[in-house]
């Protein structure tokens, strides 16, 4: 059957193992999802494998597609695996070792004497110094030595570098030298990709800026090549719809921007997940949400406030600091494959080590013998003895043996108690991560809903809601494809920022307004180029403020409308004090406040998705499909007892299930604890609450 | 009854998260750049008796895991809910170890009983006294090192004690900063209290109490298991600081490590008498003082990174700390610069352990780099500015299988540098260079880490530069197992001009507009014979600009010509050198070797024995006289068996009737 009606949008989320696809029309009439294997060695093949599959299954014609949205791990993997372009760096004379030294300090838990610093994006021998100096107020102290640039150009050629980053001191205050270096090098080396720090991250702190710029330069050719392959493939399939790529900031951008600002794709996948959680939450009337995406090896925690994923400029990619605006995600080593170990002193821990996909948990019967979270869940009956509706059988005997020999016997306790302990510990670890994202940020979890997704999330969501004290639990109908949903719902989004330090005694509203206007102008031109009509453009001004000499800043939105005048800055400072109070328990209204960075966030509203609705239930209580022995709640001695099991696809809008209960579905299992109840909403989400609804 | 393993593990996570959360609160709320950028602070939770059971692992000076607040806790006799006490007096209870460290503690009540304390310290940029930042080697008694507040309540049942606060703030140079940092500390303690309440609510007070005791026992058991795996034996080692006072004599730290089953003894006998400068370490004779435990914690954690860190670790060890020495000074010895001696002490402990596990431990960390402060005038506003600009760090020592890390590493690894762009904004200086110092790494099969160097220019008259903790201009970081010592540190005014001045071991000076200062940390020690280092690895360092052609030849026997290794010349050079190598485990560097030729172990043993007979206030003086007496002896006249020292001592005692008793004993 061929589906008709224009306006299909396709989301393709290419992850490490699987590629998830979603296809939807604009009217809520059709929604198709599919999964295919990723091809890490040739990511574009994985992309088109998934694309061809969903197009063939849905019968949608190429010309019926309006937009293609894509989440990619190409930049992420290139950076984490070091498979990047040979990259050089041109920097201010006297500072060629800044990148190597970094911030000098060692990650806190690392072994001081045997820690090995992460390899920098650029080798020390490929860093070149150019004489010339801009002062911090933007004035020129030493003219740029253009003569020296020829020699540097020769050295770059001789070293056969494919990409070069240019990072000069105080370039955020005056980019003239940096731009000139870029011009000269482009003239000398037309084949070499060049990234300027003023384009990537024009804010102060030279090491963090250098990391962002060198990472950008080093993945530019990789991403550029990949995007070229995508363009070719789309053209070959006669898909003329525009392509949008997900960025770490939770918004999308067109291919040219992605190629130029390649480092902005570093957290493309997780950002899409947070975006998807935010959208689903809003749909379910939950604007304040904590998301936990639990997979095989790790759990990503995200925070949504007022329907928007929280963002940060103090994130990390691997061990690299990433001072760009990115979706705030806290990752810990807790997943279905997390291994439980007992050491010589009788202490048990779960994760961060993972059995991964190969050999995987013992119950996968692929040679794994160590007890994992999935094994514990199986021993407790929390997950069914088969996956994917019987396509994959789980080995309960192997799981029981792994838990018994790996944990129960060393601790001298029963196997069920040991399994319970493993589940409790992984839950405690995840609760800790959820608290980092809520309590540590001055937020009360009781005012938040928890969204549990990823393959393993729904089996732990109920425990986490209870231990965190969250108000409600949201389990999406398709917990495994939230990233793909995030793609379809994401808007175009750009962040523009620049450092301009204003001391407390010298705020300059005129200059501030001029900078905001300039940033907004750039943003407007960008959205214009993307074809976003003016009425769909939104701009949010913000500034980074700090108490004088504080080492970190807080980003505060500019709430006053119209051009910035003194009053707007006064409001800004007052808002800063309140935010400080909320986050850190006190404000210091008497202390001088510095305005450090000015930001404009530009959004072109393009995201749209209408989920189909499911039929309403005729009665409140659904019929269980059966029962199985399971131990769901936290009493370590509790032996498994008969527990009703429901089929997810059989649930209709308005159905209420009272715990203890289990809901099995193709790719996941939802656990509902005694005392909790789960309501199926009209979009087939489960909403779990304590007590009866 | 012990708490079950799963609950204990969950409680462990909670305690750690609580300490982390305290540190996070403190970090984000603190005001001074020094705190923000260098994270010189601690937070933690202790038992009612003061034993630390939880410290953060991600923020702050995370290695002070053995802090015991017991003695200061006892100095306040009545605690009520809402109280917070503080002290920065190194001689009140020996928790605070120099005046800038403001320690605070808050009792946490459950019903009517104290169940824990939330504690912590911040290094204040200045607490008044004779010099800005309150610290200088030149100071000789504690009274010069700023205001001292003995244990006192800063909050009384939740109400601020304005008298104590005003007393404090009236006596410091930048009261806003101190007050800002103190508020951050109070916020952190309150966070700690909240977290403990949550734990009690969740686990119940009995499980909480039992669990905390179990966590301490658990860390102890792990530490014992590590020690048990080291070969029993007696391992002596000594290291030096360049000077015991301004223009003084070398200062010795000596340690005899005894490994016996699962117990350790650190005998510091043989270390110098307490100094008339501020390098003394105030331990109060506490045989498990945290200053002494840090180096051991490093070593044990290096040997087993799964070691759970809390006060329980310290139970494997006992220190012998002769009174009136640098490791146990008596009032009113100055202690401000103990950071320097502590850093050397940590290296000393690492060095003493090295022969017990040479395949798993490293050469000397890079050391002797200062923490730099600049006090200048902003030409634009005319206002005085004081800013901590950077800690200069060295790398980590080389170790089996790996070069030391460059520019960062080892026991200074928790010090974060300040970005150049922030230094220029905050400190009114122009940074001309910040980078790695060529040829600074101790050569070895696996070389030490490179040291950092910085060059900056001042723009105003009367710019005061403080280079706190500078050292290693003479006694360099040692190499092990055939590895060589690192390069010495440097401090130069106006380098490369006709006004160049080598500032030697100076740590404070005043410069004017246009003056340039160059400062370098000492290099880290190497591991294994440098003549066995892969010539291509030497070439790579040469290409990075980290090793010069001359150093490649002299230190590694690698001849580099036309940008490549000259294979035949290298082989010939290495063959010719091979005979000259000695088999000593430590390479302490040329200066130290020359010094130890005069000041042999026997001479030091004699000195220790003689000085111990004198009243404390005579010892430093007597040491200087004896050093001066030995100095002019020609190599032929030196016996090196201790008799030179005894002779000088006897002469001294003869000179002063006050010492006749001691002298008589020496002659006998």
Cβ contact (<8 Å) for A205 and B10? Answer: no
Size of interface A-B (CB pairs under 8 A): 210
Contacting B residues, span 141-200, partner chain A, CB-CB under 8 Å: 176-177, 180, 183, 187, 190-191
Q: What is the dihedral of CA A191, A192, A198, A204, to 10 degrees?
A: 180
pTM (two decimals): 0.89
Mean pLDDT of B500-528: 95
> SS3 of A202, please?
coil
Task: For residue A241, give both structure tokens.
Answer: 């719809």
Confidence at residue A30, expressed as pLDDT on a 0 to 100 scale: 67
Q: State the Cα–Cα distance between residues A575 and A553, nearest whole angstrom.
A: 13
Residue of A104, A345, A552 with shortest CB distance to B222: A345
Confidence at residue B32, expressed as pLDDT on a 0 to 100 scale: 65
Any B CB within 8 A of A314 CB: no
> SS3 of A434, please?
helix
Q: State the Cα–Cα distance between residues A220 and A265, nearest whole angstrom.
A: 10
Any B CB within 8 A of A550 CB: yes
Contacting B residues, span 8-67, partner chain A, CB-CB under 8 Å: 8-10, 13, 17, 21, 24-25, 28-33, 35-37, 39, 56-59, 62-63
Q: What is the DSSP letter of A355?
A: -
Within 8 A by CB and 6+ apart from B382, the residues are: none
Cβ contact (<8 Å) for A170 and B424? Answer: yes
ipTM of the complex: 0.88
Per-residue three-class SS string for B207-262: HHHHHHHHHHHHHHHHHHHHHHCCCCEEEEEEEEECCCCCCCCCEEEEEEEEEECC
Contacting B residues, span 343-382, partner chain A, CB-CB under 8 Å: 350, 361-362, 365
Mean pLDDT of B341-349: 94
Please report residues of B whose CB lies closer than 8 A to that of A441: none
Any A CB within 8 A of B546 CB: yes
Which residues in chain A come in under a pLDDT of 70?
1-6, 28-30, 108-109, 388-391, 585-586, 634-638, 693
Please report residues of B whose CB lies closer than 8 A to that of A206: 419-421
Contacting A residues, span 110-129, partner chain B, CB-CB under 8 Å: 110-117, 123-125
Contacting B residues, span 191-250, partner chain A, CB-CB under 8 Å: 191, 218, 221-222, 225
Q: What is the DSSP letter of B479?
A: E
Mean pLDDT of B202-213: 96
> SS3 of B661, please?
helix
Segment among A28-42, A398-412, B41-55, B60-74 with least mean pLDDT: A28-42
Residue of A104, A141, A347 with shortest CB distance to B393: A104
Residue of A344, A501, A584 with shortest CB distance to B187: A584
pLDDT at B114 over 80: yes
Which residue in chain A has the smallest CA separation from B15?
A: A432
Name all domains of chain A by residue range, CATH numbers in brackets.
79-224 (3.40.50), 492-604 (3.30.1490), 626-690 (no CATH)
pLDDT band at B668 (very low <50, low <70, confident <90, very high): very low
Cβ contact (<8 Å) for B402 and A550? Answer: no
Q: State the Cα–Cα distance between residues B15 and B13, nearest whole angstrom.
A: 6
Could you list the beta-strand ranges (E) of B309-398. 317-320, 371-377, 384-391
Please report residues of B whose CB lies closer than 8 A to that of A208: 419
Which residue in chain B has the smallest CA separation from A549?
A: B33
Q: State the Cα–Cα distance between residues A548 and B426, nearest whole angstrom.
A: 10
Within 8 A by CB and 6+ apart from B111, the residues are: none
Q: State the Cα–Cα distance between residues A449 and A688, nearest whole angstrom.
A: 10
Cβ contact (<8 Å) for A549 and B32? Answer: yes
Mean pLDDT of B240-267: 96
Confidence at residue A2, expressed as pLDDT on a 0 to 100 scale: 36
Confidence at residue B469, expressed as pLDDT on a 0 to 100 scale: 86
Greatest CA separation for chain A: 82
Which residue in chain A has the smallest CA separation from B400?
A: A114
Q: Which of B8, B9, B60, B524 to mutate to test the interface with A (most CBs of A within 10 A)?
A: B9
Please give the C-alpha separations between residue A93 and each of A130, A411, B185, in angstroms, as whole numbers. 5, 60, 41
Please report residues of B whose CB lies closer than 8 A to that of A125: 540, 543-545
Per the CB < 8 A criterion, the answer to whether A105 and B408 are in contact is yes
Beta pairing partners, B156: B159
Task: For residue B540, give both structure tokens.
Answer: 């790579």
pLDDT band at B22 (very low <50, low <70, confident <90, very high): very high
**Which residue in B24, B103, B7 sits closest to B64, CA to CA?**
B103
Please report residues of B whose CB lies closer than 8 A to that of A333: none
Domain range list for chain B = 5-221, 363-529, 599-667
Cβ contact (<8 Å) for A547 and B180? Answer: yes
Confidence at residue A28, expressed as pLDDT on a 0 to 100 scale: 65
Q: State the Cα–Cα distance between residues B229 and B231, nearest whole angstrom.
A: 7
pLDDT at B37 over 70: no
Per the CB < 8 A criterion, the answer to whether A342 and A406 are in contact is yes
Cβ contact (<8 Å) for B191 and A439? Answer: no
Question: CB count, 10 Å around CB of B320?
Answer: 16
pLDDT at B665 over 60: no
């Amino acid at each position: 059957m061929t589906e008709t009606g224009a306006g299909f949008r396709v989301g393709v989320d290419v992850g490490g193992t699987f590629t998830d696809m979603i296809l939807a029309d604009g009217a809520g009439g059709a929604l198709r999802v599919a999964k295919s294997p990723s091809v890490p060695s040739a990511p574009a093949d994985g992309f088109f494998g998934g694309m061809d599959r969903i197009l063939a299954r849905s019968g949608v014609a190429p010309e019926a597609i309006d937009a293609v949205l894509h989440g990619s791990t190409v930049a992420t993997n290139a950076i984490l695996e070091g498979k990047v372009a040979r990259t050089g760096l041109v920097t201010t004379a006297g500072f060629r070792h800044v990148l190597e030294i970094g911030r000098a300090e060692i990650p806190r838990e690392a072994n001081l004497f045997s820690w090995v610093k992460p390899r920098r994006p650029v080798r020390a021998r490929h860093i070149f110094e150019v004489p010339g100096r801009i002062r911090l107020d933007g004035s020129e102290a030493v003219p740029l030595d253009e003569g020296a640039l020829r020699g540097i150009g020769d050295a770059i050629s001789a070293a056969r570098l494919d990409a070069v980053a240019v990072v000069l001191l105080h370039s955020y205050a005056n980019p003239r030298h940096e731009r000139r270096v870029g011009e000269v090098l482009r003239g000398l080396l037309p084949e070499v990709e060049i990234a300027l720090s003023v384009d990537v991250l024009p804010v102060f702190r030279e090491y963090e800026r250098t990391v962002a710029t060198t990472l950008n330069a080093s993945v530019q050719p990789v991403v550029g090549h990949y995007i070229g392959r995508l363009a070719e493939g789309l053209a070959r399939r006669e898909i003329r719809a525009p392509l949008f790529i997900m960025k770490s900031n939770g918004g999308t951008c067109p291919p040219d921007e992605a190629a130029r600002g390649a480092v902005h794709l570093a957290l493309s996948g997780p950002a899409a997940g947070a975006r998807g959680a935010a959208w689903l939450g809003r749909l379910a009337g939950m604007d304040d949400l904590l998301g936990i995406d639990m997979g095989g090896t790790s759990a990503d925690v995200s925070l949504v406030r007022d329907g928007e994923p929280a963002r940060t400029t103090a994130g990390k990619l691997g061990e690299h600091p990433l001072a760009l605006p990115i979706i705030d995600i806290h990752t810990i080593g807790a997943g279905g494959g997390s291994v439980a170990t007992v050491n010589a002193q009788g202490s048990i821990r779960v994760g961060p080590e993972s059995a991964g996909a190969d050999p995987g948990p013992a119950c996968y019967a692929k040679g794994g013998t160590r007890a994992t979270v999935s094994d514990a869940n199986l021993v407790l009956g929390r997950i069914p003895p088969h996956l994917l509706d019987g396509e994959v059988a789980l080995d309960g005997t192997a799981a029981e043996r792994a838990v018994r020999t790996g944990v129960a016997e060393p601790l001298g306790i029963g196997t069920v108690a040991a399994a319970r302990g493993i589940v409790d510990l992984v839950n405690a670890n995840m609760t800790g991560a959820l608290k980092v994202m809520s309590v540590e940020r001055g937020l009360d979890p009781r005012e938040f809903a928890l969204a549990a997704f990823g393959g393993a999330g729904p089996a732990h969501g109920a425990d986490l809601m209870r231990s965190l004290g969250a108000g409600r639990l949201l389990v999406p109908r398709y917990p495994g494809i939230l990233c793909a949903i995030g793609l379809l719902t994401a808007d175009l989004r750009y962040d523009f920022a620049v450092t301009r330090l204003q001391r407390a005694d010298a705020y300059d509203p005129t200059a501030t307004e001029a900078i905001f206007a300039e940033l907004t102008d750039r943003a407007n031109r960008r959205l214009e180029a993307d074809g976003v009509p003016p009425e769909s453009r939104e701009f949010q001004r913000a500034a980074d403020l700090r108490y004088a000499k504080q080492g970190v800043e807080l980003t505060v939105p500019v709430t006053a409308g119209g051009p910035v005048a003194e009053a707007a800055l006064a409001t800004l400072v007052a808002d800063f004090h309140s935010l400080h109070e909320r986050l850190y328990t006190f404000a210091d209204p008497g202390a001088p406040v510095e305005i450090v960075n000015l930001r404009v966030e530009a959004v072109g509203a393009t995201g749209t998705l209408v989920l189909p609705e499911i039929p309403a239930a005729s009665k409140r209580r659904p019929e269980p499909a059966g029962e199985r022995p399971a131990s769901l709640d936290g009493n370590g001695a509790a032996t498994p007892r008969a527990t009703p099991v429901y089929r997810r696809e059989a649930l209709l809008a308005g159905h209420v299930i009272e715990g203890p209960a289990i809901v099995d579905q193709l790719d996941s299992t939802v656990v509902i604890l005694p005392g909790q109840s789960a309501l199926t909403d009209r979009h087939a989400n489960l909403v779990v609450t304590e007590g009866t609804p | 009854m012990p708490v079950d393993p799963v609950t204990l593990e969950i409680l462990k996570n909670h305690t750690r998260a609580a300490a982390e959360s305290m540190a996070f609160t403190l970090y984000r709320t603190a005001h001074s750049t020094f705190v923000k950028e260098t994270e010189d602070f601690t937070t933690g939770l202790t038992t009612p008796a003061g034993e630390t059971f939880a410290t953060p692992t991600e923020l702050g000076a995370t290695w002070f895991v053995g802090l015991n607040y017991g003695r200061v806790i006892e100095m306040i006799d009545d605690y009520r809910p809402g109280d917070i006490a503080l002290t920065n007096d190194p001689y009140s209870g020996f928790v605070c170890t120099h005046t800038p460290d403001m320690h605070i503690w808050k009792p946490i009540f459950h019903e009517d009983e104290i169940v824990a304390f939330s504690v912590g310290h911040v290094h204040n940029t200045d607490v008044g006294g004779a010099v800005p930042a309150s610290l200088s080697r030149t100071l000789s008694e504690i009274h010069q090192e700023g205001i001292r507040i003995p244990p006192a309540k800063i909050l009384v049942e939740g109400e601020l004690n304005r008298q104590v606060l005003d007393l404090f703030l009236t006596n410091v140079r930048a009261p806003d900063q101190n007050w800002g940092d103190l508020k951050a500390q109070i916020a952190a303690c309150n966070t700690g209290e909240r977290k403990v309440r949550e734990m009690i609510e969740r686990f119940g007070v009995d499980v909480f109490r039992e669990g905390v005791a179990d966590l301490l026992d658990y860390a102890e058991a792990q530490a014992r298991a590590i020690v048990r795996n080291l070969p029993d034996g007696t391992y002596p080692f000594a290291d030096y600081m360049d000077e015991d006072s301004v223009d003084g004599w070398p200062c010795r730290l000596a340690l005899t490590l005894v490994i016996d089953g699962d117990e350790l003894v650190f005998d510091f006998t043989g270390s110098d008498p307490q100094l008339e400068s501020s390098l003394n370490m105030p331990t109060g004779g506490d045989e498990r003082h945290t200053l002494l435990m840090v180096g051991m914690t490093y070593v044990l954690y290096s040997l087993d990174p799964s070691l759970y860190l809390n006060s329980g670790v310290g139970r494997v060890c006992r220190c012998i700390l002769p009174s009136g020495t640098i490791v146990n000074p008596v009032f009113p010895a100055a202690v401000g610069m103990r950071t320097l001696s502590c850093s050397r002490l940590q290296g000393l402990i690492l060095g003493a352990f090295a022969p017990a596990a040479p395949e798993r431990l490293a050469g000397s960390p890079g050391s002797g780099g200062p923490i730099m402060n600049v006090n200048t005038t902003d030409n634009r506003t005319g206002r005085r500015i004081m800013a901590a600009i950077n800690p200069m760090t060295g790398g980590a020592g080389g170790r089996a299988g790996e070069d030391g890390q460059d520019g960062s590493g080892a026991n200074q690894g928790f010090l974060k540098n300040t970005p150049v762009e922030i230094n220029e904004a905050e400190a009114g200086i122009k940074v001309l260079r910040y980078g790695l110092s060529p040829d600074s790494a101790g050569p070895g099969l696996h070389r030490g880490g490179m040291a950092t160097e910085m060059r900056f220019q001042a723009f105003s008259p009367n710019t005061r530069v403080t280079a706190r903790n500078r050292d290693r201009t003479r006694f360099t970081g040692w190499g092990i197992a055939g590895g060589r010592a690192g390069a010495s540190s440097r401090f130069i005014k106006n380098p490369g001009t006709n006004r160049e001045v080598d500032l030697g071991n100076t740590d404070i000076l005043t410069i004017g507009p246009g003056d340039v200062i160059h400062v370098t940390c000492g290099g880290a020690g190497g591991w294994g014979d440098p003549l066995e280092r892969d010539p291509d690895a030497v070439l790579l360092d040469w290409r990075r600009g980290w090793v010069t052609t001359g150093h490649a030849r002299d230190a590694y026997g690698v001849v580099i010509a036309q940008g490549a290794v000259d294979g035949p010349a290298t082989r010939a050079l290495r063959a010719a050198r091979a005979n000259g190598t000695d088999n000593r485990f430590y390479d302490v560097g040329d200066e130290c070797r020359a010094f130890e030729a005069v000041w042999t172990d026997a001479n030091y043993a004699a000195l220790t024995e003689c000085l111990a007979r004198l009243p404390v206030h005579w010892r430093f003086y007597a040491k200087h006289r004896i050093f001066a007496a030995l100095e002019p002896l020609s190599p032929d006249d030196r016996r090196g068996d201790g008799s030179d020292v005894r002779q000088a001592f006897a002469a001294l005692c003869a000179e002063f009737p006050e010492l006749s008793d001691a002298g008589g004993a020496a002659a006998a």
